Amino acid sequence: MVTQQQIQAQEPIWLVIIRLLRWDKPAGRLILMIPALWAVFLAARATPPVPLVSVIILISLVSSAAGCVINDLWDRDIDPQVQRTQRRPLASRALSIKVAIVIALVFLVCTVILGLYLNLLSFWLLMAAVPVIVFYPSAKRVFPIPQLVLAIAWGFAVLVSWTAVSGSLEFSTWLLWGATVLWTLGFDTVYAMSDREDDRRIGVNSSALFFGEYVPVVVGIFFTSTAFLLGWLGISMQLQASFWITLFVATLVWNWQSVQLRDPQLPTTVYSQMFSQNVWIGFLLLFGMIVGSFRF
């Protein structure tokens, strides 16, 4: 009988590295890219320079890849105890710690090099995000709501991208930042619900554990607040009808997700499905922001 370890040992190294970077699971990479694209298109009123958009996309990809490797380095002894994560390359010992450290450093250096294309303010905001990316995985050991640290990391995507276009932080920037932080708190709390029993047994923190039976209500508040701030942003920037239509659809889906969470018998697979739904919600809103920024 062939064991799981033997199957993993037969994997080519490039496939193991792809799994380490989570490039085999694009939803998590795209959901970081979305707020960055929101910011760059809104700040440029839907017409940002193509090279800048390309750099922003690349920065989101390489920084999130670095974050995934760093996360697995922090959690290499925890992940084997969690059903969802026990097949990760470091958890299953399919890859060595030294190789993972080198890969993390390579992607952090790539983040810095790409950041040199940006203006000075954007570059230093990007550098300020690096410590958050590096230490976020440790938050679950000492902070009751580690998803807030992740949400702040996501918020830097807005600050970096917006200032890359405008060179300054505006009131609208902070509205989008707040919406991004609250949205991230919402979808990542939902995602954390699938690991509640394992996290409780191991003794690590998550917002899903912290809010307990009130999770459906709290997630609803996060998503409603996100919709409110995006609506305020739409008014502030005088966005057109297409934005409001997409925001209405997004709000309906968020409310539906919050209602679903009240079911105590909900299969754990639904939580990851809700996470994926937030990816297309984000792109739907991006479409509304782009079209809604034009003056016809």
Ordered structural domains, the chain, with CATH: 10-293 (1.10.357.140)
The confidence score (pLDDT) of residue 7 equals: 44
What's the average model confidence in pLDDT over 250-272? 93
H or E element that contains 72: helix 50-74
Confidence band for 243, pLDDT divided at 50, 70 and 90? very high
The confidence score (pLDDT) of residue 9 equals: 53
Give the other-Cβ count within 10 Å of 221's Cβ: 15
Quick check: pTM over 0.85?
yes
The confidence score (pLDDT) of residue 90 equals: 92
- Report the mean per-residue pLDDT for the chain: 92
The size of the chain, in residues, is 296
The confidence score (pLDDT) of residue 82 equals: 85
Instruction: Provide long-range contacts, Cβ within 8 A and 24+ apart, for 209-218.
Output: 210/144, 210/145, 215/189, 215/261, 216/258, 216/259, 216/261, 216/262, 217/258, 218/189
The confidence score (pLDDT) of residue 177 equals: 98
